[in-house]
A and B are shown apart, each in its own frame.
Chain A
């Protein structure tokens, strides 16, 4: 499943990285602790978080994650947006809570397999 399909199916907001929505999704990871993501997220994961600063993009890029998905209508900081366009990592958003969007993502990925 590609990030672009996820955007459509879960009606997600695309804040940045519009040109990089063809990235393939390998799974998901839910965490707001950056070292946890650094240590345990896998390449191609959708990272669900409430952190909105630019270090999130740095980590997603280093770990080659598929995209960042911000929850609860949170909006990324401008420096995060700029950095995500440079690095080619899409930053997406939803009004749903972490629990709700993680559940939906899990179902979508499970069906896609």
Chain B
């Protein structure tokens, strides 16, 4: 099994995409099916951006085994008060600055759900959120 780890700082949009980009390169080296790579990269990027946009800091862990990619995004941050609401397309709590950049359209979590084979969200308001996604191949 291969494990990749990335640290993300809240507000650091310049680094957003690093974890997805590095993971993509690694999956290509491992000859993972390109459709699975595409799905993984879309969902992972959205997760990275969510940490940059909402949390104070977070750690992204990607584990690749024979038939599955597991991505765990654990952050310290405000948490999500109402997860079912956060899953709705168009719902967003992003700041005006983040929205100006073209983020915060309320499509991130729905994109993640659509592209992952499984998505689990655990969140404690005031403490943080852990998002776990799996991709089967």
Complex formed: what's the CA distance from A5 to B56 in Å?
A: 45
Name the contact of B16 in the complex, choosing from A39, A51, A55 (C-beta under 8 A).
A55
- The residues of A that contact B49 with a CB separation of less than 8 Å are 34-35
| 23 A-B interface contacts by CB (under 8 A) | A33-B102, A33-B105, A34-B49, A34-B103, A35-B108, A35-B111, A38-B46, A39-B107, A49-B102, A51-B101, A53-B13, A54-B14, A55-B16, A58-B20, A58-B21, A59-B45, A62-B17, A62-B21, A62-B24, A62-B41, A62-B42, A62-B45, A79-B14
Number of chain B interface residues as a range? 20 to 34
Complex formed: what's the CA distance from A55 to B13 in Å?
A: 7
Q: 0/1 per residue, B96-123, Cβ < 8 Å to A? A: 0000011101011001001000000000
Q: 0/1 per residue, B26-52, Cβ < 8 Å to A? A: 000000000000100110011001000
Q: 0/1 per residue, A28-49, Cβ < 8 Å to B? A: 0000111110110000000001
Given contacts A33-B107, A58-B16, A62-B45, contact A39 B102 (CB under 8 A): no
Complex formed: what's the CA distance from A58 to B42 in Å?
A: 11
**Which A residues form the contact surface with B (CB < 8 A)?**
32-36, 38-39, 49, 51, 53-56, 58-59, 61-63, 79
Interface of B is mostly: helix
Complex formed: what's the CA distance from A55 to B14 in Å?
A: 7
Complex formed: what's the CA distance from A27 to B85 in Å?
A: 34
Complex formed: what's the CA distance from A62 to B19 in Å?
A: 11
Which residues of B81-105 have CB atoms within 8 Å of chain A's CB atoms?
101-103, 105
Complex formed: what's the CA distance from A79 to B49 in Å?
A: 18
- The residues of A that contact B107 with a CB separation of less than 8 Å are 33, 35-36, 39
